[in-house]
Amino acid sequence: MFQNLTPLAADPILGLMAAFRADSNPHKIDLGVGVYKDAAGHTPVMRAVKEAERRLLATQVTKTYVGPAGASLYNEYVAQLILGRELAESTRDLRCTFQTPGGCGGLRLAAEFINKCNPGARIFVSDPTWANHIPLLGDAGLQIATYPYYDYATHSIQFDAMMAALEQAHKGDLVLLHGCCHNPCGADLTQDQWRAVRDLALKNGFTPFIDLAYQGLGDGVDEDCFGVRLLAAAVPELIVVSSCSKNFGVYRERVGAFTLLCQDNASMKAASSLIAATARGIYSMPPDHGATVVEMILGDSVLRLDWEQELTQMRERISGLRTLLVQQLRAAGVDRDFSFIEHEKGMFSFLGLSVPQVQRLVKEHSIYLVDSSRINVAGISEGNVDYLVASIRKVLG
Ligand SMILES: Cc1ncc(COP(=O)(O)O)c(C=O)c1O
């Protein structure tokens, strides 16, 4: 059965990680992998996570099964985190949340569920979007369509073209939107643009599907949910897949959620039973440890405050690095306007370099980034920014 298989091409990011590890250049910089890093280049365990883990270890009395939906308290806290207390209350009978193995598990669970409701349903994704959206949604049977999003020439959203394309999305279709901190481009919809998307969803009847993987890393925990909350208050059906990987720094614990809002309580109950059966048929139940840690943090005022403070420091560090990079490029006399990087949000931006220029950064300067020139801004530090700027200057010629 397996004799005719040939190895697939290596995942570009994983290949980059391996090459970075093997590189002995003391100046090497990793701008590839999408994880937060502190000034020393480490991806730390957050203080509140450490403390919650300590308490969990001391108090946990069983490791029996949790069920396909995961922990109900975690699910309720996540719903409140993304919707805000008020909306979480007013939508109580219309919504359900399922704890999932990371955001990826949530995306796949949602896709499998949609495919059962409407086999081969069309989902419009932004061009570009996070590469893993395609297999996560497409391999479940959904038909992928794209809408124009980022204009590489002007470093901004092509909003008119996006809306023109979304005119083609109707009832039975889905439109995938990045809730905040768009991966890979960092360009987020303005509040007015979110309103226009809401109006179009109401007019055409498509179902918005929001991927919220970076809540708290753009403008703030509540601010980053502007689009989610705007749509949740207006449209009859909404899907939100959220992840705690980045904002709680629990990447390897696999903590995420799939939240569904329905038009009425009966549809929500029926949908909920189908989602549970779908989860049972894929992974049965989500892993418990990371979700319990998140639940403990969100349910304890002291831990929650500490988490929010540390998250604020992370967010401010990232936006400070954006400013620093732009300033240093300007100060070095680089003859190109990089100011867009300062206005984009979250961990990612495109540098706007060509593939040969990126290749030179990797091969000649040991600066690791993917061919699209997407960088993880958190990989920059006060200690490496001068070398990075000098290297960019060289490859720009
Ligand atoms: C846009 C986007 N969605 C979802 C995820 C899911 O992350 P995880 O499965 O690690 O929670 C990521 C992670 O990089 C992402 O960038």
DSSP-derived secondary structure for 147-176: EE-EETTTTEE-HHHHHHHHTT--TT-EEE
Strand order in the sheet with 143-148: 95-100, 256-261, 238-243, 207-212, 174-178, 122-127, 143-148
Of the candidates 130, 169, 187, 288, the residue annotated as catalytic is: 130
Separation between Cα atoms, residue 245 and residue 132, nearest integer Å: 15
Distance between CA 35 and CA 177 in Å, rounded? Answer: 21
Q: How far is the CA of 3 from the centre of ligand 1 (A)?
A: 33
pTM above 0.85, yes or no: yes
Task: Tell me the C-alpha distance between 194 and 183, whole Å.
Answer: 17
- Domains of the chain are 12-45+308-396 (3.90.1150.10), 65-299 (3.40.640.10)
Which amino acid is located at 354 in the chain? S
194 noted as active-site residue: no
Q: Is 307 a catalytic residue?
A: no
CA of 214 from ligand 1 middle (Å) equals: 8
Q: Are 380 and 321 in contact (CB under 8 A)?
A: yes
Q: Tell me how far apart the alpha carbons of residues 96 and 69 are, in angstroms, rounded to a whole number.
A: 9
Alpha-carbon span 151 to 163, nearest angstrom: 14
What value does the CA radius of gyration of the chain take, rounded to a whole number of Å?
A: 21
For ligand 1, residues with CB inside 6 Å are: 34, 102-104, 130, 183, 211, 213, 243, 245, 251, 256
23 tagged catalytic: no
Q: What pLDDT does residue 298 have?
A: 98
pLDDT the model gives residue 146 = 98
Distance 334 CA to ligand 1 centre (A): 33
Look up 363 and say whether it is catalytic: no
Q: State the DSSP code for 253.
A: G
> Which one, of 170, 177, 107, lies nearest residue 142 by Cα?
107
Residue whose tokens read 């059962």: 116
> Per-10-residue mean pLDDT for the chain, 397 residues long?
91 86 95 93 96 98 96 98 97 98 98 98 98 97 98 96 98 98 98 98 98 98 98 98 98 98 98 98 98 98 98 98 97 94 97 96 96 96 97 94
CA of 68 to the centre of ligand 1 (A): 21
Substitution candidate for ligand 1 out of 245, 252, 255 with most atoms within 8 A of CB: 245
Q: Residue 132's pLDDT is what?
A: 95
Query: DSSP class of residue 243?
Result: E
